[in-house]
Amino acid sequence: MTTWQPSERALQRAAYRAGRRRRSFGVALLSTVVVAALAWWVLVTSPGWERARETFFDPAEFTDVLPGIAEGLWLNLRVWLIAGAVSLVLGLLLAIARTTTSAALFPLRALVVGYVDIFRGVPVLLVLLLVGFGLPALRLPWLPNQAAFLGSLALVLTYSAYLSEIFRAGIESVHPSQVAAARALGLTRGQTTRRVVVPQAVRNVVPALLNMVVALQKDSGLISVLGAVDAIRVAEIAVTGSYNFTPYVAAGFLFLLVSVPLTRAVDAYNARRGWRGARGAAVGIR
């Protein structure tokens, strides 16, 4: 029994593609080294480099403040996870409510449209200030007044509005024939939405949802304006009086440790599901 062997033409094509990948990698590496060297030369030869290095890149100060900033970052991560989960659920519910066609639910659709227009149009920092200082002024006994809670609430209000529009785009991208087929099989409107429309809609908008989750991770640092002792607030306290801004660099470094892997994971997922992944599969690269 003979085993399959690639033809000479197939081997030549594979060798050609491997050679192109090696050349592309070499060119990319060389250009990266040149650009990095040029940027470093411009930085270290600037007139104020020594002063900037002492003010922003003090190794001793960086080491001293890093543990405290890391502890504050844990608060940012908790706010991010909780606000992200709540925003995803609320955004999906808002999108479903807005795409209903029942005449009796028109007041609900109008309310959702107003909600989305308001919180998409107002900057997130302004929402944080209004929620963080406005709600405590009402003196509601059942409403927590902790800065972390109010900051999370403001982020949920803003991001649920953005996410609802992403979910709505996904729902409207589902072909009407899918709904017609589900109704022909005897599914009710609610069953069709829950079992047919929503799963397809969510799958279609996963890349956009992941990008919004990454953006929320960065915006979680804005809760410091309400007095929450997060990573940025710890850095602000450390800078006070010393006028050494290395703590800000340390806080940015920790945020990058979280956001960069998330961003690369999102890019990899998008590449596998998007045009590049389809192109690679078509030519036999993947």
Residues 163 and 25 in one domain: no
Average pLDDT per 10 consecutive residues for the chain, totaling 286 residues: 78 89 91 92 86 87 91 92 94 90 87 93 92 87 88 94 92 87 85 86 87 89 88 90 87 90 83 60 45
The answer on 128 and 74 residing in a single domain is yes
Residues 150, 83 within the same domain = yes
Same domain, yes or no: 31 and 82: no
CATH assignment of the domain containing 138:
1.10.3720.10
Q: What is the pLDDT of residue 282?
A: 47
Please tell me the predicted confidence (pLDDT) of residue 179: 84
For the segment 6-51, what is each residue's pLDDT rounded down to a tens digit?
Answer: 888 888 888 889 999 899 989 999 999 999 999 989 888 888 888 8
Decide: 158 and 125 in contact? Cβ < 8 Å.
no
Q: Are 69 and 189 in a shared domain?
A: yes
User: Does residue 136 share a domain with residue 267?
Assistant: yes
Tell me whether residue 230 is in a domain: yes
Residue 285 lies in a domain: no
29 shares its domain with 162: no
| C-alpha of 213 from chain center | 3
Q: Are residues 152 and 30 in the same domain?
A: no
Task: Report the C-alpha gap between 81 and 216 in whole angstroms.
Answer: 9
Q: Residue 283: inside a domain, yes or no?
A: no
Name the token pair of 65: 């403040």
Backbone φ/ψ region at 146: left (φ over 0), alpha (ψ -120 to 50), beta = beta
Domain hosting 181: range is 62-273
Q: Is residue 142 part of a domain?
A: yes
Within a domain: residue 284? Answer: no
Residue 274 confidence (pLDDT): 63
d(CA 64, CA 160): 38
pLDDT of residue 206: 86
Running DSSP on this structure, what letter comes out for residue 46?
S
For residue 148, being part of any structural domain is answered with yes
